[in-house]
């Protein structure tokens, strides 16, 4: 794209935004990645092959998009901001493998996109909806094989922390049923324009061959985890007793869980066994 502004040059990005008459929208999490190494790292983490169909949520000005388009069979982008959407259409005109959906990603039927063949996601997610999107995607029936995402570092900690650690909780468990989550790289605020107040991180989510719990037991599993974590400092035996579950200690014993354990110490596999026994 010889005549287009370089999206890794702060000066050129500022010039482009001025030309578009646009000020980065905080509510939409518009912190544009301007570090070429990080952008390349996200693409490498997604492991994009020529036969892959990729979804990007929140393409913004297209810094990541322009790296994915030459590598993938197809790229579908969902962008909520009409100014960004209009610019993207002019930056990637008439490309056979590029599709733009101008919408709020939360209003898009993501499972329909995945069932139509999208098998990877690469994105610098809007932080306000990142956790919700990760869970919604994980819960899709045709969930993608691999996702490389930039998210807030604090959310990344919750995504990857094992049972027993202070960040372990609902996000890590619900996504962990379907994905192996790893933190790939921490990102300094200075890699963005404008810089956010917090650190970020690139995470990799690789689909598990077999989810930790069956499709029919998942709704009960989710409800159980959510209500137990709303009382995370209490003992699991006490929580279940208050829910009217009987005989608590027998069921817990069968799931390999002690009455006195706290929700934050129970691994996904033991939550799954407990949900199976209760279902």
Decide: is 95 part of the binding site for ligand SAM (CB under 6 A): no
Helices (H), 54-152: 65-68, 82-91, 110-115, 130-138
**Interface pick for ligand SAM out of 16, 55, 68, 84 (rule CB under 6 A):** 84
Name the nearest CA neighbour of 91 among 157, 187, 20: 20
Decide: is 91 part of the binding site for ligand SAM (CB under 6 A): no
The correct pick among 16, 17, 30, 114 for binding ligand SAM (CB under 6 A) is 30
Q: In this structure, are residues 65 and 92 in contact, taking their beta carbons and an 8 Å threshold?
A: yes
Site string for ligand SAM, 120-159 (x = CB under 6 A): ----x-x--x------------------------------
Q: How far is CA 53 from CA 83, 114, 120, 223, 276, in A?
A: 25, 9, 6, 33, 35
Q: How far is the CB of 211 from ligand SAM (least distance, A)?
A: 26
* CB 58 to ligand SAM: min, Å: 2
In this chain, which stretch among 72-80, 86-94, 157-165, 219-227 interacts with ligand SAM, using CB under 6 A? 72-80
Task: Pick from 45, 53, 58, 151 the residue near ligand SAM by CB under 6 A.
Answer: 58
Angstrom CA distances, 265 to 46, 168, 171, 194, 237, stand at: 31, 8, 15, 39, 13
- DSSP-derived letter for residue 197 is S
- Summarize as ranges the residues that interact with ligand SAM (CB under 6 A): 28-33, 57-60, 63-64, 78-81, 84, 104-106, 124, 126, 129
């Amino acid at each position: 794209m010889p005549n287009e502004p370089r999206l890794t040059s702060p000066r050129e990005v500022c010039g482009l935004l001025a030309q578009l008459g646009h000020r980065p929208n905080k509510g939409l999490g518009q912190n544009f990645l301007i570090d070429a190494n990080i952008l390349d790292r996200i693409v490498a983490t997604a492991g994009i092959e020529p036969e892959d169909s990729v979804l990007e949520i929140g393409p913004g000005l297209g810094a990541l998009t322009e790296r994915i388009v030459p590598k993938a069979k197809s790229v579908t982008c969902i962008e909520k901001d009409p100014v960004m959407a209009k610019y993207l259409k002019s930056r990637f005109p008439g490309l056979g493998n590029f599709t733009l959906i101008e919408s709020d990603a939360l209003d898009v039927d993501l499972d329909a996109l995945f069932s139509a063949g999208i098998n990877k996601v690469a994105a610098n997610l809007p932080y306000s909806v990142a956790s919700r999107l990760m869970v919604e995607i994980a819960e899709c029936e045709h969930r993608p094989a691999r996702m490389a995402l930039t998210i807030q570092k604090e959310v990344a900690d919750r995504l990857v922390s094992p049972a027993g650690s202070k960040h372990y909780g609902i996000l890590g468990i619900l996504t962990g049923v379907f994905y192996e989550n790893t933190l790939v790289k921490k990102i300094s605020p200075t890699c963005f324009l404008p810089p956010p107040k917090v650190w970020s991180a690139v995470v990799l989510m690789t689909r598990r061959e077999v989810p930790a719990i069956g499709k029919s037991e998942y709704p009960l599993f989710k409800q159980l985890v959510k209500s137990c974590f709303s009382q995370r400092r209490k003992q699991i035996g006490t929580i279940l007793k208050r829910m009217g579950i009987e005989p608590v200690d027998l069921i817990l014993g069968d799931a390999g869980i002690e009455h006195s354990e706290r929700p934050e110490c129970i691994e996904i596999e033991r939550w799954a066994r407990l949900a199976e026994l209760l279902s």
